[in-house]
Amino acid sequence: MPNIINRMVTAELADLLGGSEGLLFFSFNGLSMPENEAIRGALAERGVSVHMVRNTLVRRLLAEQGVELDSAALKGNTAMVAADAEGLIGAAKVLTDKEYKALRADGKLGLKAAYFEGQVMGAAEASALADLPDRDTVNAMLLGVISGPARGLATILNAVPSSVARVIQAKADKEDGGE
């Protein structure tokens, strides 16, 4: 019976690993139920879910895909988020949020590693994912870059007729004031 269960768990985890753009591993030790629910809820708002994983199983499945994580990354209680790029960045933002600073200080919560765009990242690089802008921010930045030159051109083109109008008005005011 355990062999069937192990095969089912392995197959489910292999599907999860194969269908994601990135992975984020973090420690999830000694949390109270409200803390656990708060973190899982915040991650669910970003569209990702937390999976508690067996370290040996994840290490073996990743090795089959040619991914070698640091040995410290898969020790102790390990939680994993498997998501697309935007979901992974959102999860990193949640886990490094100042709201959970006390949990990180107590050692209850902490990023261990990440696998993103074919690169294995340590804890420091994984937390740097939180500094990446999300899709809406990138779209706004791109829109600003695209619309900036057009806005400048419109301002310049509008300045020529308005300057001519001001010069004519000043000339008219000068002639009226002199009489």
Q: What is the pLDDT of residues 64-89, one digit of tens each?
A: 888 888 777 888 888 888 888 888 88
**What is the phi-psi region of residue 38: left when phi exceeds 0, alpha when psi lies from -120 to 50, beta otherwise?**
alpha
| Region 156-163 average pLDDT | 76
> Which pTM value belongs to this model?
0.70
pLDDT of 8-39, one tens digit each?
888 888 877 777 788 888 888 888 898 889 88
Q: What is the pLDDT of residue 16?
A: 77
Which among 32, 33, 69, 37 has a CA at the least distance from the CA of 53? 69
- Is the predicted pLDDT of residue 1 greater than 70, yes or no? no
Sequential DSSP letters for the chain: -HHHHHHHHHHHHHHHHHT-SEEEEEEE-S--HHHHHHHHHHHHHTT---EEE-HHHHHHHHHHTT----GGGGSSSEEEEEE-HHHHHHHHHHHT-GGGHHHHHTTSEEEEEEEETTEEE-HHHHHHGGGS--HHHHHHHHHHHHHHHHHHHHHHHHHHHHHHHHHHHHHHHHHHHH-
pLDDT average, residue stretch 141-154: 82
- Residues 83-138 have pLDDT tens digits of 888 888 888 888 888 888 888 778 888 888 888 888 888 888 888 887 777 778 88
Q: At what angle do helices 55-64 and 2-18 cross, to 10 degrees?
A: 50
Work out the mean pLDDT of the chain and round it to a whole number: 82
Q: pLDDT value at position 144?
A: 83
pLDDT of residue 179: 52
Burial class (CB in 10 A: 0-12, 13-18, 19+), 36: middle
- Looking at residue 57, its pLDDT comes to 84
Q: What is residue 177's predicted lDDT score, i.e. its pLDDT?
A: 61
Q: Is 77 exposed, middle or buried (0-12, 13-18, 19+ CB in 10 A)?
A: middle
